[in-house]
Amino acid sequence: MDDWHVKILGTANIAQLMVRYCVPTMLATSIQACYNIVDRIFVGRVCGEDALAAVTVCFSPQLLFLAISMMIGQGSAALLSIKLGQKDYDGASRVFSQAALLFVLFYIGALCILMPFMREILEFFGATPKIVDDAQAYYTIIVFGLIFEKISFGINNLIRAEGRPAYAMSTMFVGALSNIILDYVFMCVFDMGVRGAAYATVAAQALGSVWVMLFYAGGRSCLTFRLSDVKFHRDIIGAVCSAGSPSLIMQLLAGLGVSLYVKQACEFGSESTIAIVGVDFASTTIMFMPVVGLSMGVQPIIGYNWGARNPERVVKTFYYALAAATAFCTLAFVLAQLYAEVIFMLFFGETSSLITEGARIMRILVCCTPFIGANIVASGFFQSTKRPAYSVAVTFIRQALFLIPLLYLLPIYFGLDGLWASFPLSDFMAFLVTLVFILLKITPARVEADIRSLKT
């Protein structure tokens, strides 16, 4: 059993640990975002604006099913980190086995729900008669390949949790690089249209899955997979779902928000408006996914030291992460303001009529990006310390209390400009609420008291 990578979570310098964990994880989440971004670039340039709108519509149901996947993956990772901090290696191995079982069951359930009602689901999420056929062709292939996403992205969380962030990053790199190559082959060489983009994504995820399985088959893991654990352990499943519930709720609300966003864009605009929304989704995702990666990267450090009853390291890790997240979000804001036109040219080419309007919209959307980091890192902190109620509250407030109502109400009075303004307004209001949570719940004295109250 190779547990050196685990033990250093409680002894190594915090800043050095964050570099070791967060840099690979930030790269990994950015690479993960490239799956959708590369598809959209190829679809927009090779197949046109309507095809890009079709792929954009598929993003809403993808987010809703990603919610369950993230609940399993991040919930298992949070529980695994705490078990390792408690030196409970048998318990950690049982968590791993339960995660694998839950991913397989989820894949089967997703197929049963999606396949019979594919067209109706896509129409509900905003697919117009002009684009629904392309959307159905694309998403049908994606759904059949979901099992590879669950392995290459879901199980990959557990590799990171046991102290191997570099290997977890390499999994995402393998998938992203192969996705870029296969997009070109299927769409430009074989002229397969949106189906080619879908096949490229699934094939790339399959290669990433092989990379994940090589980690466990090669004896690199400190965990043991036992067939006797491949059955329902209610206590573990309950703990996984509880720890992962913030991710579930965050992604469910994000999916609902994206769905409403697309439907409002369709109602107050056209297929071209949906295409612009698709570029904005891709671009803003690459802006905040590194911060999500930063939050994921510090979770093993926080979770391990929480389990090991070391409050000083817990608090220091959080505030380092908060500062880094805010700095990165500020940099993303500056780059988006400076290069908005260039971003749209990547998707549509230099002669598209959508570039000027798309760039104007992007600059509105990212106005409050510097404030997003606090919300993401605070939610991740509460999740990694098995206090899902606080994590859910931080997430719920931004999405359900602010964003979704604004997406519905502002376009009624201000048209599409009201739709674009919904995002920065909700980001800023959520930041103010998150700041209250931080001041009340993540001070050194409060964290020390919470850790002392833990059961042995």
Where do the structural domains in the chain lie, given as residue ranges?
A: 18-452
Which tens digits make up the pLDDT trace of 48-92?
A: 888 888 888 887 787 777 778 888 888 888 788 778 777 788 888
User: In 218-270, which ranges are continuous DSSP H helix?
Assistant: 234-268
Nearest alpha-carbon partner for 307 in 99, 87, 158, 76: 87
Q: How far apart are CA 48 and CA 132, in angstroms?
A: 15
For residue 287, the model assigns a pLDDT of 83
Half-sphere exposure of 359 (CA within 13 A, CB side): 17
- Position 317 pLDDT exceeds 90: yes
DSSP label at residue 385: T
For the cut 80, the answer to whether the pLDDT of residue 201 exceeds it is yes
Planar angle of CA 244, 327, 378, nearest 5 degrees: 25
Amino acid of residue 390? Y
pLDDT score of 397: 83
Residue 99 has pLDDT above 80, yes or no: yes
Name the token pair of 343: 């971003």
Q: What is the pTM of this model?
A: 0.72
Give residue 90's pLDDT.
83
* Residue from 95, 245, 72 nearest 149 by CA: 72
Report angle CA 384, 387, 390 to the nearest 5 degrees. Answer: 110
Task: For residue 90, give every residue at least 6 positions away whose Cβ sits within 8 Å of its Cβ, in sequence order, or none.
Answer: none
Query: Confidence band (pLDDT; 50, 70, 90) for 412?
Result: very high
Reading the block at residue 231, the tokens are 């059955």
Return the amino acid letter for 301.
Answer: I
Rounded (10°) angle between helices 311-348 and 14-42: 20
Residues ≥6 apart with Cβ < 8 Å to 281? 36, 56, 59, 258
Q: Please compute the mean of the pLDDT values over residues 422-440 and round it to a whole number.
A: 93
% of the chain exceeding 70 in pLDDT: 96
- Among 255, 211, 215, 230, smallest CA distance to 102 is for 230
Instruction: State the average pLDDT over residues 447-456.
Output: 77
Helix (H, G, I), strand (E, B) or coil at 39: helix
Check residues 243 and 114 and name the one with the higher pLDDT: 114
Looking at per-residue pLDDT, the higher value among 377 and 10 belongs to: 377
- Specify burial of residue 207 (Cβ count, 10 A radius: 0-12, 13-18, 19+): middle
Residue 1's pLDDT band, with cuts at 50, 70 and 90, is: very low
Q: pLDDT class for 443, splitting at 50, 70, 90?
A: confident
Q: What pLDDT score was predicted for residue 30?
A: 79
Task: Return mean pLDDT, the chain.
Answer: 85
Task: Give the tens place of pLDDT for each residue, 133-179.
Answer: 999 999 999 999 888 888 887 788 888 777 787 788 788 888 888 98
